[in-house]
């Protein structure tokens, strides 16, 4: 089934992973530091920042798709870049969806690190960078959840990627948009094959997230 | 209780109003009961194409049919012609309105329906970027046009967007390539050939954004042209661009009687009139030309 017919499902799977993976990577580069800063420091407006993160997580992906499509269309402010219906703009839209997720989960993971630990490190002479590294190391399961959460949010999204990508064969056709197309054409074989792969990805992401959730239990039980 | 005449004026006014209200409500109920009881309406599934949907025809056609036949509630499922025929095959639709004559005849030959009947036609047009880099305008015929597009594409000067979704329009496009002696292009082998796998509306938007050529039915083009400033018609009114619609009733479907009623209506004078008048005022020309025999 996965190699059936004239439809090359693996090209589509690879496109999904490439685009969502790139978007997640950039989301991490942006989101991890910001999430860390908001999670670890006490500052005026911290609560407001957390509210913004959580609101961002609730942002409907289709709204993101609409705004990005309008911005990059020929008649939009960034139309001169001719990026609508290309891979880069798909990454941009997915990035906007993933960044709040990464920020929120990172902030939560970082703020869960006991303050005694960082205080002790600082009292032993560690600089800010070292303290940061230590905190991130302690929060590593949470950071893994941030990666999984960000990636999971965009790999199964269909509205935004359809609106800004155009489902172009071999270019911006990803698992979700392809499933919609094949179902509309009555080609259930390729659609199911893609569904199987997508489910496998989603299950893997959830295993990682559950690992984060239960890592606390493991620590209490085994002390590590 | 006081006598009515001695009660305060406001209370009298209130009780009179209430009484009148009750009387009128009861009268209304009685009137409704006296009217003919509304028959239970049955669902009628019409599988048709995205092009027909995008042109807006159903917005006029379906209400007109349901006015003539209030016992049917039409549900339009707009997909590509290929998928519409599949819905007929599995009897998930009661009647089909598609525009893929070769596939329709095969459908009949395979025994999924008894007959197909011509309903209406419109034509396809080739649209492209205003500058027309492939020089399609002024082509003698469609073969010359397709060759010109392929040549410009290979030279990196133009691109073509395909529906790529087994729709009637897609089938026509593939026929045009093969009639011109060109092997069907593919996005992997030909970088100038893109395939959206979606409906006409989305495909036109992609063509507009990328300044590319595409094949579209005139109906969708007319209804969307104002939102596609980068495109214009570069080839039209060619015999090879004719687009014939057919209606097929699915025997043994859930509401075959309803399907037959729809087919009879659309082929009859009432339905044909609705088709011939559709959006003429808006565009100054017919979108669809009725040709039931």
ipTM: 0.81
3 state DSSP class of A145: helix
8 A C-beta contact, residue A150 and residue A24 = yes
pLDDT digits (tens, 9 = 90+) for A52-91: 888 988 899 999 999 999 999 998 999 999 899 999 999 9
How many Cβ pairs within 8 Å bridge chains A and B? 57
Q: What is the pTM of this model?
A: 0.76
C-beta atoms of B165 and A181 within 8 A:
yes
A186: which chain B residues are within 8 Å (Cβ-Cβ)?
79, 82-83, 86-87
Question: Looking at the partner chain, which of B83, B202, B229 has a beta carbon nearest the beta carbon of A166?
Answer: B202
- Residue B183 DSSP label: P
Q: Is the pLDDT of residue B208 over 60?
A: yes
8 A C-beta contact, residue A216 and residue A108 = no
pLDDT digits (tens, 9 = 90+) for A184-199: 887 889 999 999 999 9
End-to-end CA distance of chain B: 78
A82: which chain B residues are within 8 Å (Cβ-Cβ)?
209-210
Alpha-carbon gap: A99 to the closest alpha carbon of chain B (Å): 28
Window 53-72 of B: residues touching A by CB (8 A cutoff) are none
Residue B275 is predicted with a pLDDT of 95
| Percentage of the residues of chain A whose pLDDT score is greater than 90 | 50
Domains and CATH numbers, chain A: 9-222 (1.10.3720.10)
Domains and CATH numbers, chain B: 42-122+244-290 (3.40.190.10), 123-241 (3.40.190.10)
**Nearest one of A189, A9, A168 to A84, comparing CA atoms:** A168
- pLDDT band of B265, cuts 50, 70, 90: very high
Structure tokens at A71: 């911005």
C-beta atoms of A170 and B79 within 8 A:
no
CB atoms within 10 A of CB A1: 10
Give CB contacts under 8 A, 24+ apart, made by A45-49.
Answer: A49/A107
B164: which chain A residues are within 8 Å (Cβ-Cβ)?
169
The CA distance from B76 to B62, in Å, is 9
Q: How many CA atoms lie within 13 A of B206 on its CB side?
A: 30
Q: Is the pLDDT of residue A122 over 90?
A: no
């Amino acid at each position: 089934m996965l190699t059936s017919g004239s439809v090359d499902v693996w090209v589509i799977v690879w496109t999904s992973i490439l685009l969502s993976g790139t978007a997640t990577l950039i989301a991490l580069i942006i989101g991890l530091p910001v999430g860390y800063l908001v999670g670890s420091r006490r500052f005026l407006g911290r609560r407001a920042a957390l509210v913004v993160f959580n609101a961002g997580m609730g942002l409907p992906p289709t709204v993101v798709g609409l705004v990005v499509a309008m911005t990059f269309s020929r008649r939009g402010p960034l139309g001169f870049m001719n990026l609508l219906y290309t891979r880069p703009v798909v990454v941009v839209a997915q990035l906007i969806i993933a960044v709040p997720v990464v920020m929120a989960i990172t902030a939560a993971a970082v703020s869960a690190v006991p303050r005694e630990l960082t205080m002790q490190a600082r009292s032993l002479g560690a600089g800010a960078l070292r303290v940061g590294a230590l905190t991130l190391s302690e929060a590593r399961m949470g950071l893994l959840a941030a990666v999984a959460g960000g990636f999971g949010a965009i790999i199964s999204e269909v509205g935004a990627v359809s609106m800004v990508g155009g489902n172009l064969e071999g270019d911006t056709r990803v698992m979700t948009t392809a499933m919609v197309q094949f179902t509309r054409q009555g080609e259930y074989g390729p659609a199911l094959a893609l569904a199987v792969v997508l489910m496998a990805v989603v299950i893997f992401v959830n295993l990682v997230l559950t690992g984060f959730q239960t890592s606390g239990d493991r620590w209490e039980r085994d002390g590590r | 209780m006081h006598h009515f005449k001695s009660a305060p004026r406001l209370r009298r006014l209130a009780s009179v109003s209430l009484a009148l209200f009750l009387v009128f409500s009861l009268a209304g109920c009685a009137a409704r009961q006296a009217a003919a009881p509304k028959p239970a309406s049955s669902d009628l599934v019409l599988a048709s194409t995205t092009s027909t949907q995008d042109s807006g025809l159903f917005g006029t056609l379906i209400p007109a049919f349901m006015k003539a036949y209030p016992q049917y509630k039409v549900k339009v499922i707009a997909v590509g012609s290929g998928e519409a025929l599949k819905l007929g095959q599995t009897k998930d639709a009661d009647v089909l309105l598609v525009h893929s004559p070769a596939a329709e005849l095969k459908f009949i030959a395979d025994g999924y329906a008894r007959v197909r009947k011509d309903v209406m036609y419109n034509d396809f047009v080739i649209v492209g970027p205003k500058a027309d880099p492939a020089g399609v305008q002024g082509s003698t015929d469609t073969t010359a046009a397709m060759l010109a597009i392929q040549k410009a594409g290979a030279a990196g000067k133009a691109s073509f967007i395909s529906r790529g979704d087994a729709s009637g329009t897609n089938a026509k496009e593939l026929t045009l390539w093969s009639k011109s002696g060109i092997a069907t292009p593919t996005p992997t082998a030909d970088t100038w050939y893109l395939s959206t796998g979606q409906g006409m509306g989305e495909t036109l938007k992609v063509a507009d954004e990328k300044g590319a050529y595409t094949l579209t039915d005139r109906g969708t083009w007319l209804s969307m042209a104002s939102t596609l400033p980068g495109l214009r018609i570069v080839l039209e009114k060619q015999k090879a661009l004719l687009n014939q619609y057919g209606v097929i009733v699915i025997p043994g479907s859930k509401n075959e009687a309803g399907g037959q009623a729809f087919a009879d209506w659309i082929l009859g004078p009432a339905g044909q009139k609705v088709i011939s008048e559709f959006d003429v005022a808006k565009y100054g020309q017919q979108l669809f030309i009725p040709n039931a025999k």
